[in-house]
Structure 1
Amino acid sequence: TRIIMGTASLNPLWAALLFPLVFGVPMEEVTSGESVASRLPEGCRRCCDPEDPLSPISPYIVPEVRPYINITILKGDKGDRGPLGTPGKSGKEGPRGDRGPQGTKGDKGQAGSPGSPCQIHYSAFSVGRKTALHSSEEFLPLLFDRVFVNTDGHFDMATGRFVAPLPGLYFFSLNVHSWNYKETYVHVVHNEKAAVILYAQPSERSIMQSQSVMLQLAQGDCVWVRLFKRDRENAVYSDGMDTYITFSGHLIKPEDH
């Protein structure tokens, strides 16, 4: 049987390497019953075999040898940083975090400068009388001998008059106890004019009487109480121990400038 080496399809380097391996080894005689094809050395073919080395009946397929390249030695230098991209949309608001620990207390600040009198926005007084009073003339001022409240001394105890510290709306109230069988006739006076009247007819029973009013006052206006004497005896009752007569007032709203 004629043996043809399959070196025609190989490059010269592979042919030079395979040539001594094929022809340097003596061939054994083919024993009876053995197939010549089964005894062929690898890399040999018969002259009747197909020329296509990739054919399924080809006894030997030469593997393709590819060169190995180590890419780690070919890595270049690090490039420059690229431009900043467009910011993305804001995400959903997260849950509120826990309250942090309480901080240390700060130093006490310095006191501010005193305000001017025009910045006063309050005024109040409440006074009382423990002794009874009979009118001995046509108009008799009602004086008081006890102070409950008198902010900044706006009520003058010597004259029985409240002097408005600034213009605005004020509220006043008067309470008295009538005397048995005597008339009770009292005025709440704005400057020199009676604003409201408290009156009780003579009766065998003494009773508590009250009167209240709101007045628009200018700065320096006065509000006070007086007894008014007519044909009958006029009096207010007290026992010298308890307070039966009270006069009170306070600023509701200062006038806007």
Structure 2
Amino acid sequence: MFILQHLPIICLVLSGQICVVTSSCNAKLENSLFDDLIGMMLKLKGTENGGQGNKFTQKDTPAFTAYRNSVQTASANDIVKFDKLWTNTMNVYDVTTGVFTAPMPGLYHFSAVVMSVSGKDLFLHLWHNDTKTAGSYTQGDGYKTGNFDVVFNLKKGDRIYIKCTSCNNGHKIYSDSNNYSTFSGYLIAK
């Protein structure tokens, strides 16, 4: 780290906040530096010229959070169906099929927490179209949770879902009124 004796030290934080540690310099130079930095931040965020950049609104941002509040028995190749919704902008998640469908191309983030029944194994995979991607395997005593946390570059119409991989004897995805099993996804960037 270096220190300039006659200029303010200005820290840019990724969240867009600015903090200024002052020292002795003239106000005109300080304001000019501050204005330049604000202008650079706005250009990076795509909001210069009155917000004409890559700005999303809730209405045009695909996002969902689905959950289960009951047990689902699954056989091999069954899709886990998160049958209740907290959020579903643009109707991107179908509770009847358990499938997210991308309404537009872009970079998407998905996460899930899936709980097994106490003392039972549960082997799941996150699928992108017809391709198996990340896996989750839980085993042992007590209730266990498997997690998914991935980012995909999707095309319009691509599908994302969670499927039971080797649930030969009717494995169970556990949940109750505490909503232990959840699945979420949203657009990060177009």
* Fold shared by both chains (TM-score > 0.5): yes
Q: Which amino acid aligns with 1:227?
A: C
CA contact (8 A) 2:83 2:96 kept: no
Q: 1:220 to 1:132 in 2, by over 3 A?
A: same
Q: TM-score scaled by structure 2?
A: 0.64
CA contact (8 A) 1:173 1:210 kept: yes
Alignment of 1:72-151 (within 5 A): 122-136=61-75, 138-151=76-89
Larger fraction in strand:
2
Which consecutive residues of structure 2, in runs of 5 or more, have no partner in the other structure?
A: 1-58
Aligned mates of 1:134, 1:233 — CA distance in 2 = 6
Structure 1 residue matching 2:160: 3-state secondary structure: strand
1:231 shift after superposition: 5.8
Query: How many correspondences in the alignment?
Result: 132
1:232 shift after superposition: 6.4
Q: 1:231 to 1:155 in 2, by over 3 A?
A: closer
Aligned mates of 1:217, 1:140 — CA distance in 2 = 23
1:235 shift after superposition: 2.4
Given the alignment, which residue of 218, 243, 252 partners 2:179? 243
CA contact (8 A) 2:102 2:157 kept: yes
Alignment of 1:29-68 (within 5 A): none
Equivalent in the alignment of 2:56: none
RMSD: 1.8
CA contact (8 A) 1:228 1:234 kept: no
1:234 shift after superposition: 2.9
Q: Which amino acid aligns with 1:134?
A: T
Aligned mates of 2:103, 2:171 — CA distance in 1 = 33
Alignment of 1:149-188 (within 5 A): 149-188=87-126
CA offsets per residue over residues 83-132 of structure 1, 9 Å max, x none?
A: xxxxxxxxxxxxxxxxxxxxxxxxxxxxxxxxxxxxx8521110001111
Q: Which amino acid aligns with 1:172?
A: F
Q: Which has the higher contact order (CA 8 A, sep 6+)?
A: 2
Aligned mates of 1:227, 1:192 — CA distance in 2 = 14
Q: 1:158 to 1:230 in 2, by over 3 A?
A: closer
Q: 1:230 to 1:123 in 2, by over 3 A?
A: closer
Identity level (%): 32
Aligned mates of 1:145, 1:165 — CA distance in 2 = 20
Q: TM-score scaled by structure 1?
A: 0.48
CA contact (8 A) 1:183 1:233 kept: no
Equivalent in the alignment of 2:10: none
Equivalent in the alignment of 1:53: none
